[in-house]
């Protein structure tokens, strides 16, 4: 899938904000869902919680409404319900 400017911006922000990330967590676009990004986890970054990654993405990118990661889907409402300030 083609990497868009939004995806490049999100991935760069994740590496800048989470110093230990170094590309371990990254996102890609949804195929038919412009408001959804898919969160992927590679090697490394085990100490970074997926909820914190989703929180950062949703705080920085207003065009994203859902961060999907395998069996999880994070929205602003679900993170608020979990006690995060967003």
The CATH code of the domain that includes 70 is 3.30.300
Is 86 within a domain?
A: no
What pLDDT score does 33 carry?
A: 86
The chain-wide mean pLDDT, for the chain, equals 93
Backbone angles phi, psi at 3, to 5 degrees: -85, 120
Task: Tell me how many domains the chain contains.
Answer: 1
Is 59 within a domain?
A: yes
| pLDDT tens-digit series, residues 6-43 | 999 999 999 999 999 999 999 999 878 889 999 999 99
pTM of the model: 0.92
Is 67 within a domain?
A: yes
Domain that holds residue 64: 5-81
């Amino acid at each position: 899938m083609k990497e868009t400017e939004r995806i490049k911006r999100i991935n760069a922000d994740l590496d800048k904000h989470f110093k230990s990330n170094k590309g371990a967590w990254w996102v890609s676009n949804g195929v038919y869902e412009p408001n959804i990004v898919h969160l992927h986890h590679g090697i490394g970054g085990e100490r970074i919680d997926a909820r914190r990654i989703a929180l950062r993405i949703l705080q920085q990118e207003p065009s994203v409404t859902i961060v999907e990661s395998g069996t999880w889907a994070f929205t602003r409402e679900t993170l608020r319900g979990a006690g995060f300030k967003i």
